[in-house]
Amino acid sequence: MPYTDYSRIEKKWIEFWDKQKTFHTDLHDFSKPKYYVLDMFPYPSGAGLHVGHPEGYTATDIIARMKRMQGYNVLHPMGFDSFGLPAEQYAIKTGNHPEAFTLKNIENFTNQLKMLGLSYDWSQTVSTCDPSYYKWTQWIFKQLCEAGLARYVETPVNWCEELGTVLANDEIIDGKSERGGYPVVRKNMKQWVIDITKYADRLLEGLDELDWPEPSKVAQRNWIGKSVGAKIDFKVDGTDESFTVFTTRCDTLFGATYCVLAPEHSIVDKITTPAQKNEIEAYKKACASKSELERTELNKDKTGAFTGAYAINPANGNKIPVYISDYVLTSYGTGAIMAVPAHDTRDFDFAKKFNLPIIPVLAGGNVENEAYTEDGLHINSGFLDGLNKQEAIDKMIGWLEQNKCGKKAVSYKLREWIFARQRYWGEPLPVIHLENGEDVLLADDELPLTLPEMDDYKAHGGNAPLENATDWVNVTVNGVKGKRETTTMPGSAGSSWYFLRYCDPHNGSVFADYDLMKYWMPVDFYCGGKEHLVGHLLYSRFWTNFLFDKGLVPCKEPFKKLFHQGMVLGENGEKMSKSLGNVINPDDIVRDYGADVLRMYEMFMGPVADTKPWNTANIEGVKKFIDRIYRLYFESDVITPAPNKNLEKLYNQTVKKVGEDYMALKVNTAISQMMIFVNAVYKEISEGKNFPLEYAEGLVKLLNPVIPFITEEIWSTVLGHNDTIAYESWPVFDESKCGEDSFEYAVQINSKIKCKLSLPADYGVKEIEEAVKANAEVAALINDKQIKKLIVVPKRLINIII
């Protein structure tokens, strides 16, 4: 059966597209409106593609193909986020270079992607581990250094002994490393950080103008975590020392009955009284050795130690004790809090444990057994008594500023971006630490700083693997001896600007030409998983904003419209995983059914945005539909130029719906509409009618974005065209031919459907009312009851209340 063997057709068109450079984008051609549609580039893992990849890639491919046909200049590139831990682990295990392994995987991925008929321009691809690419990653890092945003500082980090590296927060799950599940501890280390918090407000404001899913905006806002409050200074009684706390509820200051400092707070040693010294030291030690896991596990039970010092509550002059506790974090606010146990659950727990006074300052609760965290008018609060929350906050801020012991302040959850990994397989930082204590950046013409060849990729002790490359590490700058920085950049470095590089991927003198970016940026449609919301998507926005400020990029925001494809679950409704044995390999599906079937099936499963289970049985249904299309064109001779009025309306409706649904990535309903149309064509044929050439060509064009192989084959073989269908003009519809002439109204009596009534579609309310009243069937149903109300909605329904 010829129509079940699509592999010949698919092979033919892959070669054709390659040879003809069908999908090559001339980046310098500004003659048409542009459309930049981008997938988040993959990490080229050794396992190859899984079925989740083709879902997102087919979705964007549909948009790219449609936009080309609609006359846009389309940039639809693909590349590889190719630095990363798996290649390094492979290198450690086998002693081979991670690059060779990575390049092999990239080749494999590329072949798999080509096999799927994705219309990427493979001559303009990008790979983050390519020195000609990471040269510019290093260059951008330099710009960040020069702007004072990248700094070499002592910071607490998540250290994983087993992996021998620092991990980002999102690489830790339940206090263990995401990879391998090894324990992670906190440790102070001197390393490179980038202060993304300087851009926190910009990143917050920028969200407003973006066409992103609202939940994704919410997630970024929460991650940035801006809180507006006040900083309040507390003097330490009997000393010249003081510390500052951050609070969002300065109005509860009268209820602050003690203060708590983070154990790492710099003032702790200065204020601790001799009598408390041992206790404080012991507690600090205990905290330092606590792993991330222990900290999270113990979050119910409060611990702490008394410094022996007292602070003065500026509102009422009361002497209140100062404690240290690890429930106060150095990394947020000022690392010190005023505790208001009456109205904060954590403070309440701590106060109960250490027997500290609890004074309610908000009316309405009972603070005997738990903190009262609702709102209430102020009590026990001097000049704030009787005020509500906002009034009291405003008044207190005024009072603090007047008395010079505090001021309005903002705090963010967003932390500095730790820009260093103790790994080999990443971009080297272009920095030399000189013996004289100076740190120097490499000159532009010394970039890229490439990775040295090594025999041993494993880290030893707490050192980065690059420490082993002594020839590379030890350098002399103007007679001064120095050592290269041996940590490398995190994975998210290279992926924070790759979308810019696609505008000009081969440029050797600048990361991307400004005019090219001016034309192509921003990305019009960006598709990728939700898991990158707070990492990659935030860092990319930050870098683009930064480069915009430097005048190097023409737009602040890189991704105008964002779309998340949903996850594809296994057939049992659970996440696909090797251990559950429910992994579907796309290669197998392509081999057994063909790429068109895989593409269409993945689109027909449900809306691209939804999480949905795989269902092999349903593939058969899609295959049948494609077979049906094949037979319609190849085995029937009903395609003639003559018009066929019977199909006119449905054809126009189909063109309209398919275009709309593709853009919204509700491809499933677009496909079902085309099934309806094909069914109607078959019906015409069975009645001896023809399939008009215009509609036959239109349908092939509508189908092409989803099933490019078979439609190219039909376009050339059956419809006799010499060139690719890819740039043929998109079918147009006539709105006036989409509507029905008549509408079948459901007639409800007391909101229950009783009968149907067919009326002309252009009838207004008045005409419908008259027709209803005149209708005998309706009259019989009403009997002779009184009509209390008559609700008529044209093209919807009729409801008669009696």
Who's near 527: CB < 8 A, 6+ residues apart? 37, 38, 39, 40, 56, 59, 60, 562, 563, 564, 565
Q: Rule CB under 7 A: which of 442-501 touch RNA? A: none
Nearest to RNA of 70, 248 (CB atom) = 248
Q: Quote the least distance from Cβ 255 to RNA, whole Å.
A: 11
Q: Which pair of structure tokens corresponds to residue 625? A: 């539909």
In contact, 313 and 284? CB cutoff 8 Å: no
Cα distances from 321 to residues 230, 237, 341, 773, in angstroms, run 21, 10, 13, 84
User: Which of 107-115, 441-449, 460-468, 603-611 is the region at the interface with RNA (rule: CB under 7 A)?
Assistant: 603-611
User: Which of 96-104, 190-198, 587-595, 607-615 is the region at the interface with RNA (rule: CB under 7 A)?
Assistant: 607-615
Q: How far is CA 1 from the centre of its chain?
A: 45
What is the rounded CA–CA span in Å between residue 781 and residue 396? 71
Under the binding rule (CB under 7 A), the answer on residue 218 touching RNA is yes
Q: Scanning the structure block, which residue is given the tokens 């920095």?
A: 431
* Binding track, positions 307-346, relative to RNA; x by CB under 7 A: -------------------xxxx-xxxxx-x------x-x
Q: Quote the least distance from Cβ 389 to RNA, whole Å.
A: 13
Q: Quote the least distance from Cβ 781 to RNA, whole Å.
A: 11
Q: Rule CB under 7 A: which of 511-550 touch RNA? A: 530-531, 534
In contact, 538 and 219? CB cutoff 8 Å: no
Q: Quote the least distance from Cβ 120 to RNA, whole Å.
A: 27
What is the rounded CA–CA span in Å between residue 85 and residue 82? 10
Number of residues that bind RNA (CB under 7 A): 87
Question: For RNA, which residue of 100, 282, 642, 746 counts as binding (CB under 7 A)?
Answer: 746
Start-to-end C-alpha separation, the chain: 63
For the chain, counts of helices (H) and of strands (E): 25, 31
Backbone angles phi, psi at 442, to 5 degrees: -70, 150
CA angle 556/561/566 to nearest 5° reads: 135
What is the rounded CA–CA span in Å between residue 268 and residue 800? 78
Radius of gyration for the chain, computed over Cα atoms and rounded to the nearest angstrom: 33
Under the binding rule (CB under 7 A), the answer on residue 390 touching RNA is no
Under the binding rule (CB under 7 A), the answer on residue 774 touching RNA is no
Question: For RNA, which residue of 211, 587, 610, 660 counts as binding (CB under 7 A)?
Answer: 610
Nearest to RNA of 190, 796 (CB atom) = 796
Q: Rule CB under 7 A: which of 291-310 touch RNA? A: 295-296, 298-299, 302
Nearest to RNA of 390, 679 (CB atom) = 679
* Binding track, positions 672-701, relative to RNA; x by CB under 7 A: x--xx--x--xx--x---------------
Q: Quote the least distance from Cβ 128 to RNA, whole Å.
A: 22
Nearest to RNA of 246, 520 (CB atom) = 246
Name the nearest CA neighbour of 682 among 624, 622, 629, 718.
629
Q: Quote the least distance from Cβ 174 to RNA, whole Å.
A: 7
Under the binding rule (CB under 7 A), the answer on residue 560 touching RNA is no
Q: What is the DSSP string of 131-200?
A: HHHHHHHHHHHHHHHHTT-EEEEEEEEEEETTTTEEE-GGGEETTEETTTT-BEEEEEEEEEEE-GGGGH
Q: Quote the least distance from Cβ 281 to RNA, whole Å.
A: 19
Nearest to RNA of 506, 624 (CB atom) = 624
Q: Rule CB under 7 A: which of 131-190 touch RNA? A: 169-170, 173
Q: Quote the least distance from Cβ 721 to RNA, whole Å.
A: 26
Who's near 465: CB < 8 A, 6+ residues apart? 164, 422, 423, 424, 454, 456, 457, 458, 459, 486
What is the rounded CA–CA span in Å between residue 522 and residue 5? 41
Name the nearest CA neighbour of 595 among 708, 761, 681.
708
Nearest to RNA of 85, 622 (CB atom) = 622
What is the rounded CA–CA span in Å between residue 476 and residue 466? 17
Q: Quote the least distance from Cβ 211 to RNA, whole Å.
A: 16
Q: Quote the least distance from Cβ 79 to RNA, whole Å.
A: 25
Please, which residues bridge with residue 569 across strands?
A: 575, 613
User: Which of 378-386, 400-408, 727-735, 742-750 is the region at the interface with RNA (rule: CB under 7 A)?
Assistant: 742-750
Under the binding rule (CB under 7 A), the answer on residue 117 touching RNA is no
Identity of the amino acid at 111: N
Under the binding rule (CB under 7 A), the answer on residue 717 touching RNA is no
Nearest to RNA of 404, 752 (CB atom) = 752
Name the nearest CA neighbour of 433 among 489, 473, 478.
473
Nearest to RNA of 184, 725 (CB atom) = 184
Strand segments, DSSP code E, in 30-138 are 34-39, 73-75, 79-80, 126-127
Under the binding rule (CB under 7 A), the answer on residue 214 touching RNA is yes
Under the binding rule (CB under 7 A), the answer on residue 222 touching RNA is yes
Helix (H) or strand (E) holding 306: strand 305-312
Q: Quote the least distance from Cβ 188 to RNA, whole Å.
A: 17
Angle between helices 586-593 and 595-604 (to 10 degrees): 120
Write down the H helix ranges in 180-298. Answer: 200-206, 214-224, 268-271, 277-289, 292-297
Nearest to RNA of 274, 688 (CB atom) = 688
Nearest to RNA of 449, 605 (CB atom) = 605
Q: Rule CB under 7 A: which of 12-51 touch RNA? A: none
Q: Quote the least distance from Cβ 182 to RNA, whole Å.
A: 17
Under the binding rule (CB under 7 A), the answer on residue 104 touching RNA is no
User: Which of 117-125, 390-398, 460-468, 663-671 is the region at the interface with RNA (rule: CB under 7 A)?
Assistant: 663-671
Name the nearest CA neighbour of 705 among 121, 117, 17.
117
Q: Quote the least distance from Cβ 342 to RNA, whole Å.
A: 12
Q: Rule CB under 7 A: which of 238-257 touch RNA? A: 246-249
User: Which of 224-232, 555-563, 590-598, 698-706 is the region at the interface with RNA (rule: CB under 7 A)?
Assistant: 224-232
Q: Quote the least distance from Cβ 768 to RNA, whole Å.
A: 13
Nearest to RNA of 411, 545 (CB atom) = 411
Q: Is 29 helix (H, G, I), strand (E, B) or coil?
A: coil
Nearest to RNA of 97, 612 (CB atom) = 612
Q: How far is CA 517 from the centre of its chain?
A: 22
Q: Quote the least distance from Cβ 674 to RNA, whole Å.
A: 8
Q: Rule CB under 7 A: which of 613-632 touch RNA? A: 613, 615, 617-618, 620-622, 624-625, 627-628
Cα distances from 754 to residues 237, 742, 750, 798, in angstroms, run 84, 19, 9, 10
